[in-house]
Amino acid sequence: MATRTPDSDWLHWVLFGLLLALCLVVGVALFWEEPPDSQGYGHGQLSTMRQGGDGERHSQVLWLGAAFGILQLLLFVACLGFGLRGARGSSRAKGRALLLGGVLYLIVFMVLILAYQDYLKDPTRLLVSLPPPTAVMLWVLWPFPLYFVLVYSLRFEDWVFRREDSRRFRELVDAGPAGNPTDTNPELPEEDG
């Protein structure tokens, strides 16, 4: 009977469930009745250009976009966790770092959604000379993945690839077959000249 690690079975099911939920949201969006002018309407002077109009056309499907975004963020964090699950180091510390990042990322995304919902009611407000949802996206949401980059970069030698892993890798390479490439693959044609 094969032994199982505590995290060997549940995380791939989480990923599978998130993918199914994403498919469900996309399926609902495909069959949702399209609001008028949701694809824009013709420009008065340029026939090849379309203009979008006000954001009210999104109010019926904002919750669907929010659900899709939340599921994407959860899938992103779960994939990071899947990549670190077999790595060495404290699984509790890795879990806390990913959980903290995931929760903060979801909070920032929800602030963006709420800012957009509020912006639909009063499109005259500005934040840092930009519409509030645009400001939140540019100054907070887009740079936020740097958190995960920093955590991964700073903890790489503890959680992913330790010095003893590097030494062991070097030993395996040195112990491997030596010689020229034609010795390891006799079907390769020899180069002339």
Instruction: Render 82-151 in DSSP notation, one character per residue.
Output: HHHTTSSS-HHHHHHHHHHHHHHHHHHHHHHHHHHHHHHH-TT--BTTB-HHHHHIIIIITTTTHHHHHH
pLDDT on residue 43: 80
Q: Spell out the residues 6+ positions from residue 93 whose beta carbon is closer than 8 angstroms to its own.
A: 155, 159
- Terminal Cα-to-Cα distance of the chain (whole angstroms): 57
For residues 171-192, average pLDDT = 62
Alpha-carbon radius of gyration of the chain? 25
pLDDT on residue 176: 79
Domain range annotation of the chain: 12-32+57-175
**pLDDT 10s digits, 64-105:** 999 999 999 999 999 888 777 666 666 788 889 999 999 999
pLDDT on residue 2: 47
- DSSP code of residue 79: H
> In angstroms, what CA-CA distances link 166 with 14, 152, 155, 173?
31, 17, 15, 11
Confidence band, pLDDT 50/70/90 cuts, at residue 18: very high
pLDDT of residue 1 exceeding 50, the answer is: no
Question: Pick the residue with more confidence: 42 or 54?
Answer: 42
pLDDT of residue 180 exceeding 50, the answer is: no
Q: What does the block give as tokens for 115?
A: 């800012």
pLDDT on residue 6: 54
**pLDDT 10s digits, 119-175:** 888 888 898 899 999 999 999 999 999 999 999 888 888 787 778 878 888 888 888
| CA dist., res. 173 & res. 63, Å (int) | 53
